A = this chain, B = another copy of it.
Amino acid sequence: MQTNLLHRIRSEVERYWPPHLAAVIGVSGGPDSMCLADAAITLGRTAVLAHLHHGLRGDEADADAAYVRDFATGRGVPVTVAHENVSALAANSGDSIEVAARRARYAFLAAVACTNGLTHVVVGHHADDQAETVLLRLIRGTGPTGLRGMLQAGPVPGAAGLTLLRPLLRLTRAEIDAYCVDARLQPRIDSSNLANDHTRNRVRHELLPVLERFNPGIRAVLARLADTTAADVDAVAYATAQAMHALVSDDLTVDRVGWRALPVALQRGVLRACVQRLRGDLTDLPYAAIEEARDVLNSDAVVGEIALMRDVRVAVRVRTFHVSGG
């Protein structure tokens, strides 16, 4: 079983981290990131370890930084350790300590990547983290896009030009702990749970135990739901791109007859993609505006104009409609 576990963790890393891609590994010193770092080094991946000291938790944090530095030295891998005063950052920005810490961490990882000429950052999020993320988004009210949870590969928050990889996303916390025992790692345990905000901690301690009474495998179930939803969201994006190609001209004149024959999700996708082309982003485009426009375009209205949002209008014609700005 130990051999199976090692095999499984290594095959996940191999699957989601291409062999010749050098990357920064974000390392707190905890079990997740130490498992990741150990597996990556064992598999011969080229990596720079990066650890941010948050200027909180005094001696304990000093010992975390020392542990990461010793590990890197022992394995002959470069490491960057930086100090940040997260309390001051939070006070200045008005954010919570957790939010300020998260932003500082990703800014630091992005900086280490740039300094080393690297384009990828790898972190140790696992299936239990994913289950919590899915539940948090579910509770706040998400659609399929949010229900995908964290992605195996996505942009680094605050540094969209860099890619964030999460090769451990299908492994459970229990598997990672077992790997650490097996590999004789002695990861640090963060007693303050600094990485987690208040609501995430409540999800872990109040909600997940209730869900486990219904289904002991609930964490795996939620992580798998995120996977299958992500696949559907990708397919909808692909089908939307095909519809754009078939129905929309360069000046954003849309074949209304063809558009009306599309399923609802693709009707929405085409309208959003037109706004995206026109304005470069979708910020401030309300869901209700898309639905109101759909109502008109699906009706027998033959002429008129819809204000989709500030500076975006839709001119309604019999067999086409035209999206324009200004």
Contact = CB atoms under 8 A, between A and B. Distances in A.
A261 to B, nearest CB: 10
Given A210-B206, A214-B139, A214-B207, A263 B231 contact: yes
Max chain B Cβ within 10 angstroms of own Cβ: one of A144, A203, A242: A144
Interface in A205-230: 206-207, 210-211, 213-215, 217-218, 221-222, 224-225, 228-229
13 contacts: A139-B214, A139-B215, A140-B221, A141-B225, A144-B232, A207-B214, A229-B229, A234-B263, A235-B239, A236-B239, A238-B262, A239-B239, A239-B242
Contacts of A36: none
Contact of A144 (B202, B211, B222, B229): B229
Given A139-B218, A235-B263, 5 more contacts: A229-B229, A235-B236, A235-B266, A235-B269, A237-B263
Contacts of A217: 141
Please report whether the interface of chain A is mostly helix, strand, loop or mixed according to DSSP: helix
B221 A141 contact: yes
A224 B140 CA distance: 12
| Copies of this protein in the complex | 2
Nearest to A240: B235
Contacts of A262: 238
A113 to B, nearest CB: 28
A225 B225 CA distance: 13
Contacts of A265: 231-232, 234-235
Interface of A: 138-144, 147, 199, 202-203, 206-207, 210-211, 213-215, 217-218, 221-222, 224-225, 228-229, 231-239, 242, 262-266, 268-269
Contacts of A211: 139, 207
Q: Which 7 A-B pairs have the closest CB atoms?
A: A235-B265, A239-B239, A231-B265, A141-B221, A143-B228, A234-B263, A231-B264
A268 B232 CA distance: 10
